[in-house]
Structures are given as structure tokens and as C-alpha cells.
Structure 1
């Protein structure tokens, strides 16, 4: 039976659109349809909960901070991204490693408890902490940093929902200013270089 070439073209186009949307979700800092904010308009102080108590960005003034937003039921992207962060930290000189702090921030506080978040984060590196907050706090923080995420129903799965989310590394300088947002496709070498650029700028100001 001869296949309809028009249907084939439409199918290929639909698959391509799905692929483009998936890449958008993982790399964007804004939901579809909203105006993208400039990096200079993002970032700022926050307070969230860790297993050991309240954590604020202010506590880490003088250090380079790397944020990653995800959730524990994220099967592939989040663990691989945390592996990139860990590998990047291992490439830093000893002095800079002692002055860098990573945070894995859960956008799924309804399922991700602090003990599990701490265990997950420490599995990758001792200088990574797991954080989360209330739904309201997470919504405010993701808006503040331009992080897209959305809860998606999964009726045919054991999980009642999953989370679509932007997958990026947010680098904050020792003054507490957001200076870079790097894609989840960033390599450990590239992320380490981004962290070291922050260090270089700090040293140049002294």
C-alpha cells in the first residue's frame, strides 16, 4: 500500500515541533507566551529550608553560589545535571572549591522531604545542599529567578503528576548577584570555567 506523502510530512513536522518544545522547556527561563526577562532583572535574596534549618543567600556572601532547580522524581535530567555540577566542582582549584556552594532546589515540596533532598544532594558532593520551601515560597523564588516549571498530570502512571521544568545552572557571585544562567547541556569544564570567571572578576576588583 502506498503511503500518503502529505501525512508523512505532517507527522515529521509534528515530531519536530514536539522536539523544539522539549528543548524550550529545558532551556528557557520563562513560560511560553511570556516576555523573557533580562538576566540583570533576575535573582536576589531568598530563604528556604534545609535539613539543618533555614538557609538564606545572605549567609553565603563572599562565596560563589550555583543553583539548580529540579525534583527528586526527575529520572534523568536532574541526576545528570547534578553530576555535571559535582564534576565541575571537582575541577576547581582547592581554594575555590572551599568557596563555592551548590544548591539543589526542589520545585516539588509536596513530595520532596528535607531528609531525602539532603541525601540526594550529598550523594553528589559535600558542598551541595538540598533545599525547598512552601509552594508559595517556591513559586515566588522561581518567578524571581525566571525559572519555568509546571505540574503535569499523569493519569496512567503510578505517579499522579510529573514536573516540566527549565534545566539550568544559575551562578551567583560573592556579592549575591546573579551573573550567569547556563543550559543543562553545559559540560563540567564549561561550568567550572563559568565559576572561575566569577572568581577572576572578584580578584580583579581587589
Structure 2
């Protein structure tokens, strides 16, 4: 058998590029080609729908809010990230139990109904709220927070499409200001420490 080291080098390069792109999509807050935006230029109030009525950021003044953007057909990344949020909430000093609010924001309103979003969020923690809005509202909110997502056709799958999206935790302080954006690789201990730091200010 003739050895072809060049082919293996090329294959390794392709795999490395695929890995880099995957990390980019899960960690980026901007689409490829766009200039990065500073944290101070992101965030702000929003109004979305939940199974229990309208939900907006102003309702949670005085609480530290953690936003996570995802979708219910997300098989691995979204559930594992919600698990990190859940574990982090439990690690924060219990004196702050009522001072924390989590949001799971669906970027797939065409498929994610409000009752299913509520069940999904509440499965992880009673302080988590499942919300979404119209396509236009979600587009506006993701631009507002610098969140990357894209609908990708899946012709060979039972699902018509999937969603590529940034997987990050967005930390909003008690005054409603976005103060941090943490990678999906953040541990529960790190996320809990970041939340508690805001609560102690």
C-alpha cells in the first residue's frame, strides 16, 4: 500500500478547521464578517411571550437575570447549558434565592410553543422562564444582545431545518444592564460566582 502523508495532513487540516468553526458558532456573539460590538452597546429591555403571559426585563428589576438563547430541538448543547444554569443557581447562597431569574429564549418560534417552553425551563429550575416572540421580535432581540443564530435547511432529515446559534450566558445586573457574556464552556461554579458577585454589589 502506497503511503500518502499529504492526504493525512490535508484531512487533519480540514478537521481542525471544522473544530474551529464549531467553537466559533457556539461562542461568538457576532456573525462572520461583522465588527465586534462592545458589551456597553448591547442589552436593554425586551418584551416576549411566556405560557403565563407577557414577560419583560423591567419586571425583574432588583434581580440578577441570566439569558440563554436556544431552541427545543437542540439535542445536546441547550439541555447541557440549561443544566449548567440550574446547577449554578443552586450553588448561589440561598439567601439570594428570590434574587435570581433565568430565561430560556427560543430563537425558533415557528416550532417552539409556549407550554413546551415552560415545561422545558421549569424542568431545570422554577426560577427559569421559557419565552419566545414573533420572528421579528426574536430578530430584534438577538441583534440587541449581539446573539448569532441562523436557520439551516436539513433536506435529508425529518426536521426541515435546524438552528446554528451562539451558546452563551448573558448576565444582566439588578439595574437591567448587561454586564457579562459567558461561554457555554463556563462551569456551574464560575457562573454561580459571577451571579453572586453581582448580587453582593
| Residue 99 of structure 1 pairs with residue 134 of structure 2 | no
Give CA deviations for 1:116-165 in whole Å, capped at 9, x if unaligned: 00000000000000000000000000000000000011111110100000
**Aligned-pair distance for 1:10?**
1.0
Residue correspondence of structure 1 range 126-205 to structure 2 within 5 A: 126-201=126-201
Number of aligned pairs? 201
TM-score w.r.t. the length of structure 1 is: 0.96
Structure 1: where are the runs of 5+ without partners?
202-206
Give CA deviations for 1:89-137 in whole Å, capped at 9, x if unaligned: 0011122121100000000000000000000000000000000000000
Two-structure CA RMSD over aligned residues (Å): 0.6
Distance 2:189 2:141 in 1: 28
**Aligned-pair distance for 1:82?**
0.3
**Aligned-pair distance for 1:6?**
1.4
**Aligned-pair distance for 1:200?**
2.1
Structure 2: where are the runs of 5+ without partners?
none
Aligned position for 1:35: 35
Give CA deviations for 1:38-95 in whole Å, capped at 9, x if unaligned: 1111000100000011111001001100000000000000000000000000011122
Moved >6 Å (runs of 4+): none
| Residue 51 of structure 1 pairs with residue 51 of structure 2 | yes
Distance 2:103 2:149 in 1: 17
